[in-house]
Structure 1
Amino acid sequence: MSKFDSIRPYYDAEVNAAIRQIIDDPMLEAIMNFTFPNENPAHWKGLMRHTHSLRDFQINFIYPALMKVLEKSSDGLSTGGFEALEPNTAYLFISNHRDIILDTSLLNACLYEKGLVMTTSAIGDNLIKKPFLHILSRLNRNFAIRRGLTGRALFESSLLVSEYIHKSLLRENRSVWTAQREGRTKDGNDITQKGVLKMLTLAEEGQNPFGFFEKIRVVPVSISYEYDPTDILKMPELLAKSRDEKYVKSENEDFVNLLRGIMGTKKRIHIQVNGVLDEEIKEISQMDIPQSDKLTQLASLIDLKIWNGFKLWPSNYISYDLLHGKEEFASCYTKEEKEAFQKRLNEKVDTKNSELLKNFLSMYAYPIENSKKASAEMKKA
């Protein structure tokens, strides 16, 4: 047994047997009938029965499913910055996190199309409790992050994940995707948690854990959805947080968010690669400051890169103006775009509830606030 068996994706030798476990599952049939509406199910099932690698499963089934999702629920995907990446090279992609499945799936689709190394990707084990989803996630090269742990169990789990990420990047030349924080950003304020960066260094031996970042290639990624398909689903948690109340998820909440994220309206989507942080990490590493302060510096740097790379859509500008009762960005959207956004707002939110309305608008306005901060910092530099 491998020490990583409890969290790792399948090995290629295990793929075919795993596929055969779910090939007749109604959920897989629904996904594939959506993906290949004109095909007899016997056709895709025959192809699956002859699939023996993660890459083939991702390219022949996950990728076309994702293309169909984009066709049905978005107005297209644009990209920028991928020219900074080299083929046959492993990167640690750290991105803002808005959607459970799509963030990493869209990045991998772009990497595949551009002939770059696809990622193994972190996913919370709370999202894959259903046996079908657990198998599918492992076939899609996800590794599991255990949630809800404390104390020694949390440290041991974090160390195991760190060791797995080190092995992927440094020994297997496999890129890794992780969110900048634990869980999705609910309020639109994308901030890197220092704890995520600390976890990444746990497996680094010696007196300089931060040195791990010098051995790898760190790439901040900005993912921007014009409409967040799960925006209204995030409101109960935001309201509880604003009232200092403990929020308890309903039994199927994660699954509902997952489905809504996939099929809900997104309009336009943009993925921006914000360069490789080689020189910046060298500078931080050479600073005569404690390890903790180096992690703080790196977290702030990743924030600035992600904020600066964010694609600001009319929905962001409209929300900012509505929230602040101004027309500061009126030139950035049309009358029709504002009317369409307000129609969506009125359909989803009780606009007489000022707290709910403020939370909803803030979710879309925060990228403007953070973009302003990033611009101010860049000018100082």
Structure 2
Amino acid sequence: MKRFDAIRPFYDTEINEGILKIVDHPMMKALMNFCFPKVEDEVWKDQLKKTHSIRDFQCNFIYFGVKQVLEKSSEGLTTSGFEKLDNNTPYLYISNHRDIVLDTTFLNASLFEHGKLMTSSAIGDNLVKKPFLRMLAKLNRNFLVQRGLAPRELLVSSKLLSHYIAQLLVHENRSVWIAQREGRTKDGNDETNPAVLKMIGMGSDEQNLMDYFRKIKVVPVSISYEYDPTDALKMPQLMAENNNEIYIKEKNEDIMTLLSGIIGQKKRIHIHIGDILETEIDDIKANYDTSNKQIQALAQVIDDSILSSYKLWPTNYIAYDILHKTSRHQHLYTENEKSLFERRLEMRIDHCNPFALQSFLAMYANPVVNKLKYENVI
């Protein structure tokens, strides 16, 4: 298994050694003080030093951090669809992507609470360049997706990644989380990139690709936030793309976005587990004769699941009505909710910039537009 050493998380036998290397790090102190605000440092340090598995680290430490995030920056997390999952079966969760770390963190906390297998989760190596963050990722069962590679290196990296995902799902009985596309959704349009599915398919040992996707039990997941705490931070990239400019991130931009996502107000959050894709994959296999067509069809099935089950909030309906100059959904929000949203819009967006204003509204409105494709009446 040395072939995966460059991207894999720690094995349980390596956990304690890894913890001992960073237990006195200032960022570990900050993290633990956040997780356990009323606990003396020596108490959590003593418990950390006795930790010898990823599960113990996640359940005894990270989980309490999640509860603090929810308590301090949200009005609660709700879930649906978890009853479809078997407690001891690994699944490939393919999810829409709104927040750098919280999407998968909230999913894992929910899986833990429902008694299901937690995931090994993909994370871009650009997000963990600092040694402490890389150690923390490896302690939290993250595996690395290598970014910014030349085409030939990218192919080699994709093959390695696909075989590692297969190793987890098929041989280690470990669920996997991966985003439906590289990077977070910036404009509110959640869409599966077929290239992600092609990469996953590289790990197939089946003659027909759809037999492999059926075997690894694909489960679409939709996550929605009433307020996106990083909404305004997404504007510069959207504006650059609108001007046909190459967007170059500021130094430490990813870290600032990560922290903003954690501490910023989210109000309500919902995670929905879609149906395990079985009959849908059988239909794709029966009706499409090439792997490219099958991949395109599978991407569409995943989109259909995520978009149709996406939980809409008053903020989505308010943005839709403002953007489209209509009162179509006014029965789904209060005047107070509308005033709060307009106040947020006023504070976070330059109203002298029509594109920024429209893009901000579209970010919240597009999930309504997408859901209208699946429902005659909302």
TM-score range, shorter-chain basis? over 0.9
Counterparts of residues 24-103 of structure 1 (less than 5 Å): 24-103=24-103
**Could you tell me which residue of structure 1 aligns to residue 7 of structure 2?**
7
3-state SS of 1:3 partner:
helix
In structure 2, the partner of 1:245 is 245
Task: Name the counterpart of 1:173.
Answer: 173
Residue type of the alignment partner of 1:14: E
* CA distance in structure 2 between the partners assigned to 1:203 and 1:353 by the alignment: 46
* Residue equivalent to 1:115: 115
What residue in structure 2 maps to residue 160 of structure 1?
Answer: 160
Partner residue in 2 for 1:310: 310
For 1:1-381, list aligned pairs within 5 A.
Answer: 2-205=2-205, 207-375=207-375
CA distance in 2, matches of 1:326, 1:150: 47
Which amino acid letter does the alignment assign opposite residue 282 of structure 2? K
1:161 counterpart letter in structure 2: L
Alpha-carbon distance, 1:206 to partner: 5.4
Quote the Cα distance in structure 2 between the aligned partners of 1:52 and 1:30: 22
How far apart are 1:288 and its partner, in Å?
3.9
CA distance in 2, matches of 1:115, 1:152: 41
Aligned to 2:375, the other structure's residue is in SS state: helix
CA contact (8 A) 1:77 1:268 kept: yes
Q: Which runs of 5+ in 1 are unaligned?
A: none
Could you give the per-residue CA deviations for residues 37-89 of structure 1, whole angstroms, max 9, x where no partner exists? Answer: 11100000000000000000000010001100100000000000101101100
For residues 214 and 350 of structure 1, the distance between their equivalents in structure 2, rounded to whole angstroms, comes to 48
User: Tell me, what secondary structure is at the counterpart of 1:176?
Assistant: strand
1:235–1:280 CA distance, 2 compared to 1 (3 A): same
The alpha-carbon deviation at position 34 of structure 1 amounts to: 1.3
Rounded to whole Å, the distance in 1 between the matches of 2:70 and 2:330 is: 29
Please give the alpha-carbon distance, in whole angstroms, between the structure 1 residues aligned to 2:206 and 2:53.
36
Q: CA deviation at 1:207?
A: 4.1
What is the DSSP-based 3-state SS (H/G/I as helix, E as strand, rest coil) of the residue aligned with 1:344?
helix
- Alpha-carbon deviations, 1:18-48, whole Å to 9, x = none? 0111111111101111111111000000000
- Return the TM-score normalized by structure 1: 0.97
Cα distance in 1 for partners of 2:285, 2:120 equals 26
Q: Deviations over 1:290-338 (max 9, x none)?
A: 1101111110110010001111000000001111111111111000000
Paired with 1:260 and 1:50, the residues of 2 have a C-alpha distance of: 32
The separation in 1 between residues aligned to 2:135 and 2:102, in whole angstroms, is 18
* CA distance, structure 1, for counterparts of residue 266 and residue 186 of structure 2: 16
Alignment-mate amino acid for residue 315 of structure 2? S
Deviation at 1:138, TM superposition (A): 0.6
TM-superposed CA distance for 1:209, in Å, is 2.8
**How many residues matched?**
377
Deviation at 1:272, TM superposition (A): 0.5
Deviation at 1:373, TM superposition (A): 1.6
SS at match of 2:374: helix
Residue type of the partner of 2:366?
Y
Q: CA deviation at 1:118?
A: 0.3
**8 Å contact from structure 1 (residues 202, 209) kept in 2:** no
Let me know the Cα RMSD of the aligned residues. Answer: 1.2
- SS of the residue corresponding to residue 76 of structure 1 reads strand
The structural deviation recorded for 1:242 is: 1.1
The alignment's TM-score, normalised by the length of structure 2, stands at: 0.98
Identity of aligned residues (%): 54
Report the Cα offset of residue 211 of structure 1: 2.4
Comparing 283-292 with 341-350, greater Cα deviation is found at: 283-292
Q: Does the 8 Å CA contact 1:229/1:266 hold for their aligned counterparts? A: yes
- Does structure 1 retain, via aligned residues, the 8 Å contact 2:77–2:270? yes
Please say if residues 35 and 62 of structure 2, whose CA atoms lie closer than 8 Å, have aligned partners that are also in contact: no
